[in-house]
């Protein structure tokens, strides 16, 4: 059901790789709510070609940008403002990748060149994105920037590896930049801490199926799906949340506030 919550709003959506991507669902929902937007991803992801289908379906322009390259981001904002016909009202930063996790390097035998890449791609890219927009004055007053994170920024999940530091840093950047962009232009910056979700990035983490099921059993509402996450993003892009900024918002069916559930007690033989 659509409410026209984003009617007339212009956006940039990073990170739709395939139809499982959280960003893919956000694009579909934002389109249904009346937004127009540019889709962007790294050149290697564009070559996969899946994103063309989404662009067609949502009537969006595709602009390639590697989120670790400042010149790409500058070009992206300049072009997006031109294509969409005005300043940007919302940005979804839905980017994450760890070469250490991808190559199965354990946390105690980490490759530091990879570690730099993890932090650059998964955290610093949010700062780069915000700084590019800030310098170009490309985001409209009361604009909204949302990035996706995971509770491994606060608690340890052994196979999440160096992505844990990336998420802690990402959340800190949202707070710090949220201050400066709030003062400058009333732009709000928040992170959504999402349940485990079956996507390319998600399932790349070792033991994913087990911790997906565990989280589902712990959370009173069960795991939040990518569709649910898309609804939450739409709400944060909308004018209904104008005074929400610098927050890490849990979207996890209650996981982060639950110690243990009866379902898990029963699994361990308790009653």
Task: For residue 270, give every residue at least 6 positions away whose Cβ sits within 8 Å of its Cβ, in sequence order, or none.
Answer: none
Quick check: 172 and 114 in contact, CB under 8 A? no
Report residue 209 as tokens.
């199926």
Phi, psi for residue 239 in degrees, rounded to 5: -75, -5
191: part of which helix (H) or strand (E)?
Answer: strand 188-194
Which CB atom, from 68 or from 217, has the smaller least distance to ligand NAD? Answer: 68
For residues 217 and 261, the answer to whether their CB atoms sit within 8 Å is: yes
Least distance CB 209 / ligand NAD (angstroms): 11
217 binds ligand NAD (CB under 6 A): no
121 binds ligand NAD (CB under 6 A): yes
Q: How far is the CB of 36 from ligand NAD (least distance, A)?
A: 20
Interacting residue with ligand NAD among 123, 164, 201, 234 (CB under 6 A): 201
Check residue 45 for interaction with ligand NAD (CB under 6 A): yes
Please list every residue from 125 through 154 that binds ligand NAD, using CB under 6 A.
Answer: 148-150
Instruction: Figure out which of the listed residues 12, 54, 97, 233 binds ligand NAD, where binding follows CB under 6 A.
Output: 97
Torsion of CA 254, 257, 259, 263, to 10 degrees: -10
d(CA 135, CA 186) in angstroms, rounded, equals 15
**Least distance (Å) from ligand NAD to the CB of residue 266?**
25
End-to-end CA distance of the chain: give it in Å, rounded: 41
| φ, ψ (nearest 5 deg) of residue 219 | -75, 125
Size, binding site for ligand NAD by CB under 6 A: 27
C-beta of 234 vs 242, nearer to ligand NAD: 234
Candidate list 10, 26, 27, 41; residue touching ligand NAD; CB under 6 A: 41
Among the listed residues 6, 9, 12, 15, the single contact to ligand NAD using CB under 6 A: 15
Q: Is 171 in the site for ligand NAD (CB under 6 A)?
A: no
Q: Among residues 140 and 146, whose Cβ is nearest to ligand NAD?
A: 146
Q: Is 96 in the site for ligand NAD (CB under 6 A)?
A: yes
Largest interatomic CA distance in the chain: 62
Q: Which is nearer to ligand NAD, 181 or 250 (CB)?
A: 250
What is each CA distance from 51 to 54, 123, 125, 126, in whole angstroms? 5, 23, 20, 21
CB of 85 to ligand NAD, least distance (A): 24
Considering beta carbons, is residue 28 or 86 the nearer one to ligand NAD? Answer: 28
| Nearest-5° Cα angle at 29, 23 to 34 | 125
3-state secondary structure of 213: helix
Residues that bind ligand NAD (CB under 6 A): 14-15, 17, 21-23, 41-42, 45, 66-68, 94-97, 121, 148-150, 194, 196-197, 199-202
């Amino acid at each position: 059901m659509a409410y026209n919550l984003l009617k007339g709003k212009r956006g940039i959506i990073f990170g739709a790789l395939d139809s499982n991507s959280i960003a893919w669902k956000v694009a579909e929902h934002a389109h249904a709510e009346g937004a127009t937007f540019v889709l962007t991803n790294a050149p290697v992801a564009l070559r996969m070609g899946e994103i063309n289908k989404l662009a067609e379906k949502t009537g969006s322009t595709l602009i390639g940008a590697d989120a670790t390259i400042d010149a790409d981001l500058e070009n992206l904002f300049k072009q997006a403002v031109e294509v969409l016909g005005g300043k940007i009202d919302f940005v979804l930063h839905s980017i994450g990748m760890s070469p250490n996790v991808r190559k199965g390097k354990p946390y105690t035998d980490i490759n530091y060149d990879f570690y730099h890449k993890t932090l650059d791609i998964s955290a610093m890219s949010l700062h780069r994105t915000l700084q590019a927009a800030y310098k170009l004055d490309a985001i409209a007053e009361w604009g909204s920037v949302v990035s996706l994170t995971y509770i491994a920024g606060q608690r340890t999940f052994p196979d999440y590896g160096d992505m844990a530091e990336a998420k802690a840093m990402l959340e800190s950047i949202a707070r710090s930049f949220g201050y400066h962009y709030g003062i400058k232009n009333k732009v709000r910056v928040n992170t959504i801490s999402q349940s485990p979700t079956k996507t390319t990035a998600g399932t790349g983490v070792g033991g994913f199926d087990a911790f997906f099921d565990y989280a589902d059993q712990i959370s009173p509402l069960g795991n939040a799906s990518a569709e649910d996450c898309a609804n939450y993003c739409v709400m944060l892009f909308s004018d209904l949340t104008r005074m929400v900024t610098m927050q890490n918002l849990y979207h996890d069916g209650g996981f982060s506030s639950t110690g243990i559930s009866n379902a898990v007690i029963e699994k361990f033989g308790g009653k």
